[in-house]
Structure 1
Amino acid sequence: MARPTLSDVARRAGLSPTAASLILNDRPSRLSEDAAERVRNAARELGYRPNMAARSLRTKSQTIGFVSDFITLAGFGGQLIHGAMLEARKTEHVLLITETEQDPLVPQAIAESGVERSEPGVATAAINALLDRLPEGIVYAAARSQPVNVPEAARSVPVVLLNASTSGEPVCSVLPDEYAGGRSIAGLLVDNNFSDGIVIVGGSRAAIHDPASTPAVSRRMDGIFSTFDEHDIAPMAQVECPIWDSQAGYTAVKALIDSHKSFDALLCLNDRLAFGAYQALAEAGLHIPDDVSVVSFDDDPLASYLRPQLTTAALPFREMGELAVRLLLDPDAEKREYLVTMPVQLRSSLRPQN
C-alpha cells in the first residue's frame, strides 16, 4: 500500500497542499481552527507521516516570498528588491521573487507601462508556487505607490505591502513619506527666497483631492501646498501633465517659455519631467540655475549626471525594501502604515534669489 502523501491529506480535508503543510508544520497562518482540525483528523485517519528528510532540507534554507506586479520593468524596482535581499540575507533567509504582470493596482498604470495583462489566475498561481516552499511570509510590492488588493492566496501567511497600501484588513505597509518630501522641496524654494515666480510642472492643487489621483501624488502635492500656504506663496502657474515623462516636461516648459511669461523656479513633480524641462530651457538659451532654478522628486540615477546636477527628493526604495523584510520577520510588528523619509539631494540646479 502506497504511503499517504500530503496531497492525500489535503484532498480529504478539502484544502490545498500548501494550507495542509502550514498546519501540519505549525507554521503561522490565517487558516481557521476548523480547517486546522480537518487537516489533523485527515492525517490521523490516513496514517500520514511527514517526510522528515524533505523537512530537514527545507529548514536549511529559510525563505521569504517577494511578489510584485511588473516591478522589474519599473525604473526603481531593482532598489526595492535589492533592499529586501540585503535584509533577508542578514537573517539567513532567501528571497524568492515572482512577478504577476497583472493589475491588482490601477488599470491605467498597466496600460502606460506597455505590459500586456496576463490571463486570470496568474497571480494566484505565482503566489501558490511560493507558498509551496513554505515561506515565512510574503512581501507584496507594487511598481507604483498606490492601493492594491491582496490576493486571497497570499493571506494564509504574514504579508507586508511594499510601496503599496490597502483600505482592507489591517496590514503592515511601507511607503515613502510623500507629504514630508513635498514639504522639503517646497521648503527649499521658500528658504532660498523664491515666491512670485514659481511654476509647478506636472500637476495642480486639484490633485490633492482628485479621486483619480494616486495617494502618492495627493500627499506630495499636499506637502508642497501646505508649505506654500504657511508662507502665503501662490505659484504663478500650475501645468498639468497626464503622463510624467521627459516629453511632457519639455512640451510644458516650452509652452511656458513661448508664452513670454517670466518665471524664476520650476518645481517638477518628478525627475523625468525635469529632464524635459532642462532641454526646453537650454533651447531657449536659459541657464540653470542662473536664469531659472529647477527642483524635483525621485532622484533618478540620471539626476546626478545632468549638468548642472538636479536637486531632488529621493525615493528611498532600498530602505523601504529593507524595512519591509524586517517587519515581515517581526511577529510583534504593529499592523499600520510605515513611512520612510525622502532625503533631499541638494545639488547645483538651485540658486538663492536675491
Structure 2
Amino acid sequence: MARRRGPTLADIAQATGLSVATVSQALTGKEGARIAPATVERVKEAATELGYVADATARSLRTGRTRTIGFVSDQVTVTRFAAAMVRGLLDAAEQREHAVMIAEVDSQPERMERAFDAMRAHRIDGLAVGLMADREVQVPPRQGREPRVIINGLADQCHAVLPDEQPAGRAAVEHLLGRGHRRIALIGRHPVPPAPEVSATIGARMEGIDAAMREAGLEFAAEHRGGLWEPELGREGAARVLEAAPDLTAILAANDRVAFGVYQELQARGLRIPEDASVMSFDDEELASMMRPALTTMRLPYREMGEVGASLLLDALASGADLSAGRTKIPLELVDRASVRTL
C-alpha cells in the first residue's frame, strides 16, 4: 500500500493562488525576497491549515545548514540548580526556529570527545558547551569554522559566557552596608585562590567583596575560610565567627549551602534570623527560597547565560562572522528576601 504523502509547496501554492517560488520564499524567509508581510502571513496560515511540515533533509542539502545546534552538558542536564541554563538555550533556539541536540558528558574528557564527534556526524551548525560549575576545561580541537561557545566556563577556541561575579560581590556587601551593617563576618573564602580548573570566577567575586569593604573603610569583623562549600562549613564557620566577634550583625556566606549551615548553627544557639544576625549569600538555589526565613542572595544567571550562549551562536551563523574567543559577562540579580534586616 502506497504511503500517503504530506502536503507540499505545490499544494500551498494552489490553495493561495501564488507561485511555488513565492510560497517557498515566504516560508523560508529567504533574505532579499520582496514579499509583502500580508502575503507571508497568508502562506503561513495555509501551511498550518494543510498540515505542511518542511522537509528538513531537503532544506539541509539546499542550504548547507541543518538548523540544529549542539549542546554538550557537563552535569547541567542532571542538576536542578543549573537546569535553567538548558531552558534558556532551548527557548532562544526555538525562537529562531532551530533545534538543539543535547549530550551529557559528566566531566569525562573521552566522553566529551565522543559527544563532539557525534554532533559533527549529525552536521550541527554550531556547538555550545555548558558547565554546572564555572571553571576552565579542555575541549576537542575546533574543526572548520563551526562557531563555539562555552557557558559558565572557559575553554580555548570558545567564546565564554560567564556570570559577572566581581560586581556581584560588591553588590552583596553594598546591600548589607545599605541596611546599616558594619560588623560583618565572611564565611567561605578559599585558603588559597582556586586554580582556573576549579573555578574561573570565584576570585572575581572575592575581589568585589573586598573592594566594597575597603571603599567603606571597613574590615571584616571575623572570617572563617574553607573551600568545600557545604553546610558543614557554614555550621563550623558560624560558631567560629560568633566566638571571634559576638557583636557581629551580619554574616556573608560564600553560597546558599554554606548559608544553610549558618542557619543551623544560629538557630541551635537560639539566635533569630535576621533579628539577632542577618545572613546573605550567593547562587539562589531552590534551597534559598525554602529556608525560613527565606534567604537573601545573589542569583546566578543560568537561564540568561543559556539564552545568550544560544543567541551568540545563532547570530554568528546568520551573519557568517567568526565567533571570537572573547567573553560575555551576565550580571547576577539581587534576590531580596527576609534574612537581612535594617539596623
Match of 1:124 in 2: 113
CA distance in structure 2 between the aligned counterparts of 1:62 and 1:342, rounded to whole angstroms: 31
Match of 1:56 in 2: 58
Match of 2:97 in 1: 92
Match of 1:338 in 2: 328
CA distance in structure 1 between the aligned counterparts of 2:56 and 2:306, rounded to whole angstroms: 31
Judged with a 3 Å threshold, the aligned counterparts in structure 2 of structure 1 residues 343 and 249 are, in CA distance, closer, same or farther, namely same
What amino acid maps onto 2:101 in structure 1? L
SS in 2 for 1:101: coil
CA distance in structure 2 between the aligned counterparts of 1:259 and 1:231, rounded to whole angstroms: 22
The equivalent position to 2:131 in structure 1, one of 142, 151, 154, is 142
CA distance in structure 1 between the aligned counterparts of 2:178 and 2:80, rounded to whole angstroms: 31
Preserved CA contact (<8 Å) 1:127 1:153: no
Preserved CA contact (<8 Å) 2:66 2:124: no
Q: What is the number of equivalent residue pairs in this alignment?
A: 281
Preserved CA contact (<8 Å) 1:127 1:154: no
SS in 2 for 1:215: coil
Q: What are structure 2's unaligned runs of at least 5 residues?
A: 1-54
CA distance in structure 2 between the aligned counterparts of 1:139 and 1:315, rounded to whole angstroms: 19
Preserved CA contact (<8 Å) 1:64 1:96: yes
Matches within 5 A, 1:204-215: 214-215=199-200
Question: Is 2:62 the counterpart of 1:77?
Answer: no
Judged with a 3 Å threshold, the aligned counterparts in structure 2 of structure 1 residues 123 and 156 are, in CA distance, closer, same or farther, namely farther
CA distance in structure 2 between the aligned counterparts of 1:216 and 1:199, rounded to whole angstroms: 21
CA distance in structure 2 between the aligned counterparts of 1:321 and 1:215, rounded to whole angstroms: 18
CA distance in structure 2 between the aligned counterparts of 1:154 and 1:100, rounded to whole angstroms: 20
Preserved CA contact (<8 Å) 2:282 2:300: yes
C-alpha displacement of 1:75 = 4.0
SS in 2 for 1:252: helix
Preserved CA contact (<8 Å) 2:66 2:123: no
What amino acid maps onto 1:198 in structure 2? I
Matches within 5 A, 1:147-166: 147-152=136-141, 157-166=146-155
Judged with a 3 Å threshold, the aligned counterparts in structure 2 of structure 1 residues 267 and 211 are, in CA distance, closer, same or farther, namely same
The equivalent position to 2:162 in structure 1, one of 143, 164, 175, is 175
SS in 2 for 1:72: coil
CA offset digits 1:203-241 (Å, max 9, x no partner): 15x655877862321011001001111111100212112
Question: What is the TM-score when the length of structure 2 is the normalising length?
Answer: 0.75
What amino acid maps onto 1:150 in structure 2? V
CA RMSD of aligned residues (A): 2.4
What amino acid maps onto 1:217 in structure 2? I
CA distance in structure 2 between the aligned counterparts of 1:96 and 1:67, rounded to whole angstroms: 8
Preserved CA contact (<8 Å) 2:224 2:240: no
CA distance in structure 2 between the aligned counterparts of 1:209 and 1:125, rounded to whole angstroms: 29
Preserved CA contact (<8 Å) 1:69 1:142: yes
Question: Is 2:184 the counterpart of 1:198?
Answer: yes
Preserved CA contact (<8 Å) 1:136 1:157: yes
Match of 1:274 in 2: 259
Greater CA drift, 127-136 or 177-186: 127-136
Paired-residue identity, %: 32
CA distance in structure 2 between the aligned counterparts of 1:228 and 1:208, rounded to whole angstroms: 19
CA distance in structure 2 between the aligned counterparts of 1:301 and 1:76, rounded to whole angstroms: 7
Preserved CA contact (<8 Å) 1:65 1:130: yes
CA offset digits 1:235-254 (Å, max 9, x no partner): 02121123101222122213
Match of 1:17 in 2: none
Greater CA drift, 142-151 or 224-233: 142-151
